[in-house]
Amino acid sequence: MRTRLVLSLAGALAAAAVLSAVAGASKKPPAPLAVQSASLTQDGQQLAWRVVLAGRFSAAGLARDHRALCLLIERPKSGTVSGALCLEAPRTGRGADRLVYSRVGAAGAGRVLGVAATITRSGAEELTATFLPNRFDTAYHSVRWQVESVVQAAGCVPASQTRARCVTMFPARPALAKLHTPKLVGCVPSGQSLVYSGSPTVHDIALSFDDGPWGTPPTTAFINLLARYHVPATFFEIGDQISEYDPTGSVQRAMIANGDMIGDHTWTHPEMAGLPASEQSSELELTVQAIRHATGFTPCLWRPPYGDISPSLVALARSLGLLTIMWDIDPRDWSLPGVGEIEGNVITNARNGGITEMHFGGGPRYETLDALPDIITTLKARGYRFVTISQMLGLRMIYK
């Protein structure tokens, strides 16, 4: 059964990978390219597939010679093939190489789909591809794998006398990749220490909220609404309020699980610039500790209450591993101007790299909550992509 599945898979994926006929006659019968080494490992949210062949290769060359190089994904218990990732040359002959994926079932290989992957080459014999596993599995559980090197040309030479077709497998028996659900534990501050907005050339916008967690409405109302619209946001929290409004940390963990980002908004919400350096440090560090205790996540962003900053405060925050995040879109929702006024302000002032400053605490924030659906649908219709501030700044996330 497994041999039939792999054979049908190779045929289906060869149709996607082979972009042109073999040019000219070969001087000697083609044989599968030998695999010297290969691995499949997890790096945070990403999986990394590395393969080293015995000779130089390229995606275009594989296609030209009717070859395919694939990573077979196999069920851990039965060892049957559930799908495969294969290297493919760019369709137009230009651009970067890519990966394609096909599921495999009892009826054979399914539709070939593109995979968002980063492909790097440290040499002509080596390839490393990193990708999220959501194409072939939405959960991070262990899988077995093998690399399949195939040639489908007339007169090809089988890899061994025991094989009836021109394919080599590495390793000879499926290897086990032990995967686990990645847990976000931190982020790495980089770039400018003081940020007002993102890139003006990228059609992104970041929703951010201050002064929570809170109870009117409950912070979960914001989290659930954003999740329904598949929009991430950044929440800047007051440390002293965490024990009252989220004593178990479940609300903050839900933020992270939904792809939101958490930032530091000081312990008591003071005007920070006028405080002694020791008190500034305490305000920031106590909140970092409270967030870490509740979630296991150490933030690398903070927002000054009232926008009150000084160069020395920005430098102090950076020394503590925190970027100072300001804003360039302010609907002044704290003054309760009405749902329409909040909507109109954000929509009118939206721009590439824009960062909003709204509130999910510090008072009744029903107007802000009710304004979000129209803000989101209108800006999505205008082509904006909603991102967290850490995504906007390209910060590296730390997982374990």
What is residue 16's predicted lDDT score, i.e. its pLDDT? 41
Is residue 5 scored above 50 in pLDDT? no
200-215, pLDDT tens digit by residue? 999 999 999 999 999 9
11-68, pLDDT tens digit by residue? 444 444 433 333 334 456 678 899 999 999 999 989 999 999 999 999 999 998 889 9
What is the enclosing helix (H) or strand (E) of 209?
A: strand 208-212
- Of 177, 210, 226, the residue that ends a domain is 177
* Cβ atoms within 10 Å, residue 100: 20
Q: Of residues 66, 265, 269, 359, which has the active-site annotation?
A: 359
What is residue 155's predicted lDDT score, i.e. its pLDDT? 66
Angle between helix axes 250-257 and 219-228 (nearest 10 degrees) is 20
> Averaged over 338-351, what is the pLDDT?
98
- Of 177, 194, 225, the residue that ends a domain is 177
Is 210 designated active site?
yes
Q: Which residue in this structure is represented by tokens 């912070």?
A: 219
Judgement on whether residues 172 and 200 belong to the same structural domain of the protein: no
Q: Of residues 65, 210, 264, 333, which has the active-site annotation?
A: 210
Q: 204-206 and 385-386 as β-strands: parallel, antiparallel, unpaired?
A: parallel
pLDDT grade for 269, boundaries at 50, 70 and 90: very high
What is residue 165's predicted lDDT score, i.e. its pLDDT? 64
Judgement on whether residues 91 and 39 belong to the same structural domain of the protein: yes
Judgement on whether residues 86 and 142 belong to the same structural domain of the protein: yes
Judgement on whether residues 53 and 90 belong to the same structural domain of the protein: yes
Judgement on whether residues 245 and 336 belong to the same structural domain of the protein: yes
Judgement on whether residues 188 and 166 belong to the same structural domain of the protein: no
Cβ atoms of residues 16 and 112 within 8 Å: yes
Query: Phi/psi of residue 220, each to 5°?
Result: -60, -25
Judgement on whether residues 190 and 162 belong to the same structural domain of the protein: no
Judgement on whether residues 124 and 144 belong to the same structural domain of the protein: yes
Judgement on whether residues 140 and 205 belong to the same structural domain of the protein: no
Helices (H) then strands (E): counts for the chain = 10, 22
Cβ atoms of residues 157 and 77 within 8 Å: no
Query: For the residues of 228-275, what is the DSSP string, one character each?
Result: HTT---EEEE-HHHHHHH-TTSHHHHHHHHTT-EEEE--SS---GGGS
pLDDT grade for 134, boundaries at 50, 70 and 90: confident
Task: Please give the tally of structural domains in the chain.
Answer: 2
For the CA atoms of the chain, what is the radius of gyration? 26
Judgement on whether residues 207 and 102 belong to the same structural domain of the protein: no
Is residue 137 scored above 80 in pLDDT? no
Is residue 399 scored above 70 in pLDDT? yes
383-394, pLDDT tens digit by residue? 999 999 999 999
Nearest to 360, CA basis, from 350, 351, 370, 352: 370
Is 260 designated active site?
no
- Of 154, 177, 200, the residue that ends a domain is 177
CATH number at residue 348: 3.20.20.370
Nearest to 284, CA basis, from 305, 255, 253: 305
Judgement on whether residues 171 and 287 belong to the same structural domain of the protein: no
Judgement on whether residues 142 and 228 belong to the same structural domain of the protein: no
Q: Give residue 34's domain range.
A: 2-177
